[in-house]
Each structure stands twice: as C-alpha cells, then as structure tokens.
C-alpha cells in the first residue's frame, strides 16, 4: 500500500542548524527505508513565501502568491512510502524528526483504474531533491478541492485527462511523479511530543478545500510550472499550490 506523508510545522520553530540536522537525519531514514523497499520519494520544500497558487475558472487562469492554507503550521515536505498497512506508515511517521515539532499527515494514495497507468516515476533521492546536470527546477504541485467537487462520472474523465497530461510531461522530460489521494476522511495525523506519540483521525488543515493529489515536475522556471498547473483538471474546481523543492544538505 502506498502512502504520502505530509510534513506540517511552524517555519519559525526551527533554527538553521536544527533544520539541517533534521534533513540529514531524515535522509538517513530514507536510506533505511530504501534498503527495505519501502521508500519511493521525498523532499523538503522551500518556505511558504515561495508558494504560488493557480485556479482556472470559466477558462480564465488566476495566479496568486502565497500558500493555499493559511495556518500556523505549513506544509514543509513530503515522503512517499510503500508499506503493508497504516500501522507501518504510522511507525515510520513517528520516526521522522518533524513529528517532534509539527505534524505528519498520512494519506493513502488512490489506486488508478486498470485502464489508466502513469509513466514510470523517478525514484532517485537526488532527482527528487533537485540535483541534476541542467538548470531546471523541481516543483511540487499540490491539488486542493472541496470534497465532492467532482461527481464520480466527472472525476473519472478528469482523472483520465490528468494521466494523459502526465504522459505528455514524461515525453518532454518534465515528469517525476504524480498520484491522486484517498479522501480526507482516510487521513491520520501523527505527532511526537516528549517521546509520547499521539495519533488522530482526519486531515491536518481544517479547510473547505482539502489536498486531493500531487504532481512532481521538473521545469525551467515558475512560469512553466504555472502553465502546467493550469492544465491540470483539478485547478478548474479547486486550487493548485506550486512549491519548489528545497535542496538537500551535503552529507558529512
């Protein structure tokens, strides 16, 4: 079973040294998960001040600066893992350093119908973190919408359109990963305080529009990322939040 772990925390809660140590410790956890065949991808994100939101309404693109959800704890990174069940996902979430200062939201990925298949994902940690031999940048496009915004018959066609877009991006060398998520009601949040683990049901941000999926792309600049975000069907009913990935520190 594949899960997405969304890392929420107050940006002011970390010093630069603490953030670096957090990333180094997290990278070691990724190595351990990779050896077990449980790791798919992960990366920290740039601060929320770098976020751009895209909506498309009646064919008109609307672009605004700043993150989608205005909360004290913001999305700071993600992990994609492949484990047997939610209990294993919770155990991994409780190991992550941000769980001690923020919240790790666990969301199962939504399986695609047999008739649809995504391009092969780029699973190298360096690729997901933005390392490479060109000047392109990796962006995470987070798709938000009100639950029920897509009736089942319309959701199926929108999903097929999104998959086709992924194949187009793959042909252009811009695709890294993508997936829809299960409904917010399937979410579980994990916090670790003074060694005590707390879990609660439901998604982290209590907003009308909830995270419903993601695209991980590699493009030349933000303008290209905005153009792609506007082409995703989800931006016609919800919001696409664009976040650049944060470069990982060098290992010691």
pTM: 0.89
Query: What is the residue extent of each domain of the chain?
Result: 2-244
Query: Cβ-count burial of 103 within 10 angstroms (0-12 exposed, 13-18 middle, 19+ buried)?
Result: buried
Provide the token pair at 109.
Answer: 């990925």
pLDDT means over runs of 10, the chain (252 residues): 92 86 92 94 90 94 87 85 96 94 94 90 51 77 88 89 95 94 92 92 81 94 96 94 89 70
> What sign results for the dihedral spanned by CA atoms 78, 82, 83, 85?
positive
Q: Which of 16, 25, 79, 93 has the alpha carbon at shortest distance from 47?
A: 16
- In CATH, the number for domain 2-244 is 3.30.70.1060
Q: Which residues of 66-220 form beta strands (DSSP E)?
A: 74-82, 103-108, 137-146, 175-180, 188-193, 196-201, 209-219
- On whether the CB atoms of residues 216 and 130 are closer than 8 A, the answer is no
What would you report as the CA-atom Rg of the chain, rounded to the nearest whole angstrom?
17
Given this model, what pLDDT does residue 234 score?
94
Three-class SS of 23-71: HHHHHHHHHHHHHCCCEEEEEEECCHHHCEEEEEECCEEEEEECCCCCC
User: What is the pLDDT, as a whole number, of residue 126?
Assistant: 44
Which residues are within 8 A (CB) of 126 and not within 5 positions of it... i.e. 6 or more apart? 132
């Amino acid at each position: 079973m594949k899960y997405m772990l969304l890392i929420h925390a107050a940006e002011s809660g970390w010093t630069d040294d603490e953030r670096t140590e957090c990333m180094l410790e997290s990278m070691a956890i990724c190595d351990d998960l990779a050896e077990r065949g449980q790791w798919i991808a992960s990366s920290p994100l740039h601060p929320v001040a770098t976020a751009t939101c895209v909506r498309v309404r009646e064919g008109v693109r609307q672009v605004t600066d700043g993150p989608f959800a205005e909360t004290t704890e913001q999305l700071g990174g993600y992990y994609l893992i492949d484990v047997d069940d939610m209990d294993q996902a919770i155990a991994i979430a409780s190991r992550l350093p941000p769980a001690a200062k923020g919240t790790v939201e666990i969301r199962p990925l939504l399986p695609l119908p047999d008739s649809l298949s995504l391009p092969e994902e780029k699973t190298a940690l360096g690729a997901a973190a933005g390392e490479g031999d060109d000047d392109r940048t990796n962006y995470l496009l987070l798709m938000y919408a009100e639950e029920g915004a897509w009736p089942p018959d319309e959701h199926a066609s929108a999903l097929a359109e999104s998959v086709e877009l992924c194949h187009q991006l793959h042909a252009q060398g811009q695709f890294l990963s993508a997936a829809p998520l299960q409904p917010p009601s399937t979410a579980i949040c994990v916090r670790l305080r003074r060694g005590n683990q707390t879990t609660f049901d439901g998604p982290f941000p209590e907003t009308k529009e909830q995270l419903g999926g993601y695209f991980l792309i590699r493009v030349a600049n933000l303008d290209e990322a905005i153009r792609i975000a506007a082409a995703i069907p989800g931006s016609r009913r919800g919001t696409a939040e664009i976040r650049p990935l944060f470069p990982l520190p060098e290992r010691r």
